Amino acid sequence: MKRIGMLTSGGDCQALNAAMRGVAKTLFNAKEDVEIYGFLNGYQGLIYGKFRLLNYGDFSGILTKGGTFLGSSRTPFKTIQDPDENGLDKVAAMKQNYYKLQLDCLVILGGNGTHKTANLLREQGLNVVTLPKTIDNDLWGTDMTFGFQSAVDIATDAIDCIHTTAASHGRVFIVEVMGHKVGFLTLNAGMAGGADIILIPEIPYDIDKIVEKIQERHDRGSAFTILAVAEGAISKEDAKLSKKEYKKKMEKYKYPSVSYEIAEKIQKKSGLDVRVTVPGHTQRGGSPCPYDRVFASRLGSEAGKLILKGEYGFMVGYKNREIVKVPLEDVAGKLKMVDPKSSIVKEAKMLGISFGD
């Protein structure tokens, strides 16, 4: 008998259910006795012992469903070793519930913070296998995360829809794409949607360069301009500030988000009409695209195989078009970011796309 615990932690995204289904079907089809316990609402379920025994039927019909049927929550790694409001040792509680259920392994699906905690549990002696979930595609050790392609599709569709109204009215439109620290989603959606300007956290922008690009398009006869702007886009001036100085500035920030600040500055400098569209959490919602359904299923199946072989302490990743296992200690605490000198950025610039630099 193998007893497996499973949880999804952090922000939700498409294909979480598909990935869990991949793990479960692989284990059930191996003709071994297996029990799968689903912890509810991420690490909170593991801490406070909130779980339910899952059966074959729980994994039926969920391939196309977004979100996570187990629920999720954010349990910040920076406070995971602090007692809760009642003095409970959260790490000790997670270990206690793991051993109480006599689990052979924990399957944990999540992003960067989730993987830090997963690695901590590994260091504490628990058997852990993880799967890379995030629409940001910023996890170290894997070329792709599930949820990313679905989010790209949605963000691209938003940019596509904006094109017609921008062209009709001759306006400058900003589409704000998710991504506080990393710009993979904005970069890919911006290129796919034909954005003229792409602003990402890794390449600080100069507002004058942005206005120059808009004016250049106007001089060529283009009455509209589309900007794809990451949530975490930052000006060259702000990029020079220390973390403390930047935090102090943001405490007095008057804009709903960076896109509105950029819009106001463009308007003042150019006199052009600027509009902002924020797709927001729609980028994390809805049914996973076919690519993510296949990709998450493959990752889940490989995780199931590792469990059957008793190989623990790995994240199942994707490198050079192959599914691979990556040691958790090599993943935790590392952020994969867009390289400003990468080929995709160079190619985007050759296409005439401005990054405001």
Could you tell me which of 171, 281, 176, 267 has the C-alpha nearest to residue 222? 171
Where does the chain have alpha helices with state H? 16-28, 43-48, 90-100, 112-123, 148-169, 184-192, 207-219, 236-239, 243-250, 258-270, 290-309, 328-331, 343-350
- Residues 163, 176: contact at Cβ < 8 Å? no
Where does 251-356 have alpha helices with state H? 258-270, 290-309, 328-331, 343-350
Backbone angles phi and psi of 267, in degrees to 5 = -60, -45
State both tokens at 301.
């199946």
Q: Looking at 12, 136, 138, 196, which residue is catalytic? A: 136
* 176: helix, strand or coil: strand
d(CA 66, CA 221): 42
Q: Based on the residue annotation, tell me whether 339 is a catalytic residue of this protein.
A: no
| Angle, CA 217 vertex, CA 211 and CA 221 arms, to 5° | 140
Residue 271, amino acid: G
d(CA 104, CA 110): 20
- Residues 104, 32: contact at Cβ < 8 Å? no
Q: Give me the long-range contacts of 275-279 (CB less than 8 A, separation at least 24).
A: 275/166, 275/171, 275/172, 275/173, 275/174, 276/173, 276/174, 276/176, 277/158, 277/162, 277/173, 277/174, 277/175, 277/176, 278/175, 278/176, 279/154, 279/155, 279/158, 279/175, 279/176, 279/177
Write out the catalytic residue numbers: 136
